[in-house]
Structure 1
Amino acid sequence: MLLTRELRTALRRNSDLSRQRERDHCPVVKFFLPNTAAAWLFTELAEDGDTLFGLCDLGHGTPELGYASLAELQSLRGPGRLLVERDRHFLATKPLSEYAVDAWRHRRIVA
């Protein structure tokens, strides 16, 4: 399971336009695909419970802000058929925009 109830709640809270003042949230969760350079930092989860917003890096040197499907991430298989994992030690220290600037500069997510 990539998202705990607590993570889902935090991601949903960030996507609730009626409750937020700040749009540049700190990432709530980081996912990665073992043995690859693919990584994702997400700040929001849409009402549909599937659409995530954040910084997406497929490991090709072109990280970008955008949307991803939780279901698709859960179905990805990497080398050795490994699954996408949640970085249980990730703790955001800055807003998503700062991670994006660093990622564009280094051509990969630097967390």
Structure 2
Amino acid sequence: MIILSDKLREQLLANGRQRDIDHVPVVKSFNPLGEGVWLATELDADGDTLFGLADIGEPELGYFSLKEMSSISLPFGMGIERDILFTGDLSIAVWAEAAHRAGSIRAAEHIVYAVARARRGASDALPSQAQT
């Protein structure tokens, strides 16, 4: 699977030009056979250096290589995959805090999605409350 589509690559590059913002993750990549999850928010102009939250045993904010991720060869001819259903919803700082508290990105997903749902529910409720 192609880890980055052209659209995702453009969004990551645009985010990379705005380093002073706490971006929402654009793409989630994962090892389908074991440990390893990466949430990327930015891509450097070099086309290889991603910034985001990586979890290969312990979640850590930092830089990682797209080429290295793409070159990982797993059993059965598999490689690192992109989660095509992923929606970042909240900033990378929120993801990092949740992952550190939960112990991993995978464990944090339940927390982050619950928070995002609660925020959406609260914002959906505001207009109806104003009408009453």
TM-score, normalising length: structure 2: 0.75
Per-residue CA deviation, residues 63-97 of structure 1 (Å, 9 max, x unaligned), is 10011110000011234442000000001110000
Q: Secondary structure at the match of 2:64?
A: strand
For structure 1, list consecutive stretches of 5 or more residues without a partner in the other structure: none
How far has the Cα of 1:16 moved from its partner?
0.7
From 39, 48, 67, the counterpart of 1:71:
67
CA contact (8 A) 1:36 1:78 kept: no
1-side partners of 2:36 and 2:65: how far apart? 15
> Higher helix fraction: Structure 1 or Structure 2?
2
1-side partners of 2:93 and 2:62: how far apart? 12
**More relative contact order, 1 or 2 (CA 8 Å, 6+ apart):** 1
Residue in 2 that maps onto 1:93: 89
How far has the Cα of 1:37 moved from its partner?
2.5
For structure 2, list consecutive stretches of 5 or more residues without a partner in the other structure: 110-132
How far has the Cα of 1:23 moved from its partner?
1.2
Residue in 2 that maps onto 1:11: 12
Residue in 2 that maps onto 1:38: 36
* Higher deviation after alignment, 77-86 or 45-54: 77-86
TM-score, normalising length: structure 1: 0.89
CA contact (8 A) 1:31 1:39 kept: yes
What letter is aligned with 1:51? T
Task: Please say which structure displays the higher CA radius of gyration.
Answer: 2
Cα-Cα RMSD:
1.4
Q: Secondary structure at the match of 2:32?
A: coil
From 24, 36, 39, the counterpart of 2:22:
24
